[in-house]
A and B are shown apart, each in its own frame.
Chain A
Amino acid sequence: MSRTDVLLRVDDLTVSYGNIRALKGISFDVRDGEIVTLIGANGAGKSSALRAVSGLIPFSGRILYGDRDLSRIPPDGIVRLGIAQVPEGRGIFGNLTVFENLRLATWQRKNKAEVAKDFERVFGLFPRLNERKDQMGGTLSGGEQQMLAVGRALMSRGQMMLLDEPSMGLAPVLVRDIFHTLAEINQAGTTILLVEQNAYMALHIASRGCVLETGSIVLSGTGRELLGNPRIKEAYLGG
C-alpha cells in the first residue's frame, strides 16, 4: 500500500439509539499513515462513530477497512484485522496486573517471539509500565492507566489505532505527554483515528480533522486549517 491509499472509508454512516439518531449519515476516510481526528462537543456523535467502526453497535451505511466490509464482523474479529483500540474510559482490567493487561491484547496471537518483541517496544515507549509490571491495573494513576491503554493497543499490533478521548480526566501536562507519544507512534507507521474533545491538542497533531455537530460533519480540513478557522477558534478553542 502506498502512503496515500485509503485505509478506512466510512460512507453514509448512520447510528440510531431507539428513536434518537446519533449519527445522520457521515462520510470520511482515513489514509494510510495519517492521524485523523473527529472533534466536537458532548453528544455530537463522536464516540458513536468510533463504536460503529469497532463493531460494538449496529449501524447502517458502509465501513470499509482496506477492501473488507466491517458491517458483519464481531469486535474481536475487527481487532484481528489490524484495528487496535483504546476504548472510552480506558477499559483497564482493574484486578489484573499491568503485565496481564498487556498480554490480553495478544490473546489471539501464537508467535511468542513477536509478542516478546512487542513487550520490549511498549516498555521502551512507557518505561513506567515496566516498573509497575506486577501492579494491579486498578491501582495505577490516571496517566499511567492511559499509558497502559495505549500500550495495550500497541500490543495488538494494528496497522491502525482507534482512540476514544485519551485526554479524558488527565492533567494538561499528561495530556501533552500522551499526544506526544501518539505522534511518535504515528511516525513509526501506525495510522490513527482519534476522537477528542480537546480540539486544540487533537488538531495540533492531526493531519486532518472533521468537526461533528449533532450527528453531522459540519466542517473538515487539515489540522492547520481547522486550527486557524475563526469558527473553530470561537466554538472549541476558547476564542
Chain B
Amino acid sequence: MSSLQLEIVTPEARIFTGSAQMVIAPGVEGGLGILPDHMPLMTEILPGEVIVTTEDDELSFAVGGGFLEVLPDRVSILTDMAIVEGEIDEKAAEEAVARAEQEMRDKVLSGEELATVQASLLRSLAQLRVKRRSHR
C-alpha cells in the first residue's frame, strides 16, 4: 500500500516527520481527509485536531492555525502550534483559556492585540478538545 510523507513544522521545531497512511486536518472549509495520491492542494487550516494514521498507530495532534500543502506523495502542515496528544497539559490549557477569556472581558483590546488573544484562546481550546475527546 502506498503511503505519504507527512511533515508537521512550527516556527519552534519540526514536530513530526514520517510516513502516514492518512491525514485528517481541519481545513477552513471543513475537515479534510487526505489519502496518498491526493490532488495537489493548498489550503489554510484552523486551530483544531490533526489525526495521523500511520502503519501501526494513530496519532492525534492539537494544532494552531496555519497552512496545509498536499502533493501526491507528500503532505506539509505549517502551523504556529502543534502538540501531540500525550503532551498536552490539560490544566495549563484550561488556565490559558480562562486567562484569555478574562482579558477579552476586562480590557478593550484593539486590532492586533485582540487577534493575538483570540488566536491563543483558539489554540488552547483546540488542545482541550483533543485531550478530552481521547478520554471518552
Physical interaction between A and B = no
| A residues in contact (CB < 8 Å) with B | none
| B residues in contact (CB < 8 Å) with A | none
